Amino acid sequence: MRKVFFLAAIALIIISCNNKASTETATTTEPAKDTINYAYLPDGHDPDYWMPGDMKNAALALNAIKGWETGNIDMAVSTMADTVVWKSDGFSGKVSKDTLRANLIDFWANTSNVKVMMGDYESVISKDKKEEWVTVWYKQIVTDKKGKMDSASVVDDIKIENGKITVMDEKQRKFPVPKK
């Protein structure tokens, strides 16, 4: 009986040591959560409000840009809602798809070539699933019919609702003209 008790006691000690070791390992490998002190907080939501979004939205936004770049007006406007909030340098307003089509026709009447060099893009969705945006970073070179070239670095924030573009918010920085 002593042998059985002695062996059972040794087995319990070994088992409790193994359990303690595995518990210690589990707690020491878990990363500690650092507190992040932001200099600024977003207005209206938490800093971690956004998650990766559907890349189909990125494809939609890229197709709109490709349509503009190639002069394929039907391709560009097919991605747009019936009305779009358009914001760019010197303009901010709500316009119809027909107005966008007319503006693209006017643009291409004076343009011979557009070249887009895509930098990157990101699709995001809010945690509450109420907003979906695609941000696109690229460089563009526009050549008019007289051969004058203009280039800019562009960032577009594009809101997608129900599979259509409803907001196009463009920011651009013109490149300096090279000295002759």
Residue 161 located in a structural domain: yes
For residue 9, the one-letter residue type is: A
Whether 10 has a pLDDT exceeding 80, the answer reads no
Report strand pairing: 50-52 vs 111-126: antiparallel
Whether 156 has a pLDDT exceeding 70, the answer reads yes
Q: CATH code at 152?
A: 3.10.450.50
Residue 94 located in a structural domain: yes
Per DSSP (E only), the strands in 89-148 are: 91-96, 111-126, 132-144
Residue 39 located in a structural domain: no
pTM over 0.85: no
Residue 96 located in a structural domain: yes
Total structural domains within the chain: 1
Q: Which of 97, 66, 68 is nearest to 80 (CA)?
A: 97
For residue 123, the one-letter residue type is: S
Residue 45 located in a structural domain: no
**How does pLDDT run across 110-150, given as a tens digit for each residue?**
999 999 999 999 999 999 999 999 999 999 999 999 999 99
Residue 18 located in a structural domain: no
Residue 92 located in a structural domain: yes
Residue 81 located in a structural domain: yes
**Can you give the residue range of the structural domain that contains 150?**
50-174
CA atoms within 13 A on the CB side of 122: 9
**What's the CA angle centered on 166, arms 165 and 168, to 5 degrees?**
80
Whether 153 has a pLDDT exceeding 80, the answer reads yes
Per DSSP (E only), the strands in 4-163 are: 50-52, 80-88, 91-96, 111-126, 132-144, 149-161
Residue with more model confidence, 180 or 36 = 36
